[in-house]
Amino acid sequence: MLYNSGNAKQVVEYIKERYETEPEFLWAKSNNAVFRNKDNKKWYGALLNIQKNKLGLLGEEYINILDLKCDPMLKNSIIDMKRYFPGYHMNKEHWITIILDGTVPIEDILYFIDLSYELTK
């Protein structure tokens, strides 16, 4: 996995410590990883490396993003198309994408990881 941001490294470390979950690399020739709930194998996160313009942002450089399950009511109140986006390659009603470029405080990212894990129970 290409961890371009400090936030991506913190996310992986947090998930390993809190949920004892290792990133799973499911796709050949890809650096993208998913995180699964240990009890039921449901995905609760995906750490991806994509071009900024795939989210409608300016630029073609690659960035790390985190896809997480989210309550639809909460999702609708946080999507700003700058830091929080509808789920990238996920169900847009139940998933959000957080950009991991340092603009979202790590405490907020960890909150959403915890929420996503709880939603997959």
Q: Is 31 inside a domain boundary?
A: yes
Angle among Cα 7, 56, 96 to the nearest 5 degrees reads 50
Q: Is the pLDDT reported for residue 30 higher than 90?
A: no
Q: Give residue 80's pLDDT.
A: 97
What CATH number does residue 73 fall under? 3.90.1150.30
The whole domain housing 47 covers 6-119
Number of domains in the chain: 1
Q: Which residue has the tokens 């957080």?
A: 98
Alpha carbons within 13 A on the beta-carbon side of 85: 20
Give residue-wise pLDDT tens across range 57-111: 999 999 999 999 999 999 999 999 999 999 998 988 999 999 999 999 999 999 9
Q: Is the pLDDT reported for residue 4 higher than 70?
A: no
Q: Is 1 inside a domain boundary?
A: no
Q: Is 82 inside a domain boundary?
A: yes
